[in-house]
Amino acid sequence: MNSPVSLPLFQSRVVPVIVVTDPAQAVPMAEALLAGGVDVMEITLRSAAGLAAIEAVARAVPEMQVGAGTVTRASEVAQVLAAGARFGLSPGSTPELLAAVLAAGLPFVPGVASPSEAMAARAARFTLMKCFPAAQLGGVEVLKAWGGPLPDLRFCPTGGVSLANMGSFLALPNVAMVGGSWLTPAAAVKAGDWAQITRLAREATDAVAALQASR
């Protein structure tokens, strides 16, 4: 990966997209995901608890590669680094945001929804991008189409990805990993049903392994 920042830092090809409402949920969730073979979390800044949750995981679960998601403003870059995020992701990208992550040296996955946006991110030296919202944009067919003129770029489709369709995304040569919220359902998190989260993570990890073995 020749991005200015080297990604992936993690083994998992499935990235859980997480909204925490209470920072105390973060550490048991991290442990539950690890128990299911998922060593990465995208904890989003969509809730006020996001930064504290990142900090808790970074401190207590060092084997988890904790990233900050929904980083949409340049001013958030210093905050997520201070919290201990090892990388960041965004649903989009602006020149200000990309300049801030490059200046800070934060490994980063900018979001793109068109070839022009992907080319702008590539011009800023990023080669791994989040394709968002993947299913709503047209899913697998869109990524297949982008692979023709932009074969050097790699994508993490997110938005509408699930256990049922992740295999068709991961089978594409330009898809490095997929992201989604299905691994950490809000009801399970609220109930503290960590066994369910381990089960969902294991199911996804096993599906990725089966896909790789069938190649």
The contact set with ligand 3PG (CB under 6 A) reads 17, 91, 132, 158-161, 179-182
Give the DSSP per-residue string, the chain.
Answer: --SSS----SS-SEEEEE--SSGGGHHHHHHHHHHTT--EEEEETTSTTHHHHHHHHHHH-TTSEEEEE---STHHHHHHHHHT-SEEE-SS--HHHHHHHHHHT--EE-EESSHHHHHHHHHTT--EEEETTHHHHTTHHHHHHHHTT-TT-EEEEBSS--HHHHHHHHTSTTB--EEESTTS-HHHHHHT-HHHHHHHHHHHHHHHHHHHHT-
Nearer to ligand 3PG, 169 or 194 (CB): 169
What is the nearest approach in angstroms of ligand 3PG to the Cβ of residue 35?
21
What is the nearest approach in angstroms of ligand 3PG to the Cβ of residue 33?
15
What is the nearest approach in angstroms of ligand 3PG to the Cβ of residue 16?
9
Nearer to ligand 3PG, 21 or 181 (CB): 181
Nearer to ligand 3PG, 46 or 63 (CB): 46
Catalytic residue among 130, 141, 144, 203: 130
55 is catalytic: no
130 is catalytic: yes
